[in-house]
Amino acid sequence: MKNDIHPKYYPDAKVICACGNSFTVGSTQPEIHIEICSLCHPFYTGKQKLVDTARRVEKFQARLAQKEEVSASRKGKKVKKAKAQIRKKQARKIKAEKENNPAKGGSASGGKEK
């Protein structure tokens, strides 16, 4: 086994978060800067607070809101099927009325009877 090939280990490396929280861990770097820790992460806090440098979260929320607006205006399959059945019933009713009631002037001479 070779000597001096492993990096130096710092048992009390300081971790500093963007929210201001700091704690110590063991690491190969003496100081680590992070953006999100357990005190500011939404999973642990239940609040929506993110450091967003590229507006990705805002863009996603805008797309999600737009998608919800479109889906709210759409009609579901049940509504479409119900309307189709109503149209079929109306078409059958009209067809039955035509069969039961002969057309006005329904003679073979085209309505020119004397």
- Residue 80 backbone dihedrals phi, psi, to 5 degrees: -65, -40
Whole-number Å distance between alpha carbons of 86 and 90: 6
Confirm whether residue 37 is marked as ligand binding.
yes
Given a contact cutoff of 8 angstroms between Cβ atoms, the answer to whether 32 and 14 are in contact is: yes
Q: Quick one: how far is CA 31 from the chain centroid?
A: 39
Confirm whether residue 40 is marked as ligand binding.
yes
Confirm whether residue 42 is marked as ligand binding.
no
Whole-number Å distance between alpha carbons of 75 and 83: 11
Confirm whether residue 83 is marked as ligand binding.
no
Whole-number Å distance between alpha carbons of 67 and 76: 15
The stretches of 1-114 forming alpha helices (DSSP H) are 42-45, 56-73, 77-100
Give the annotated binding-site residues.
Answer: 17, 19, 37, 40
Give the annotated binding-site residues for Zn(2+).
Answer: 17, 19, 37, 40
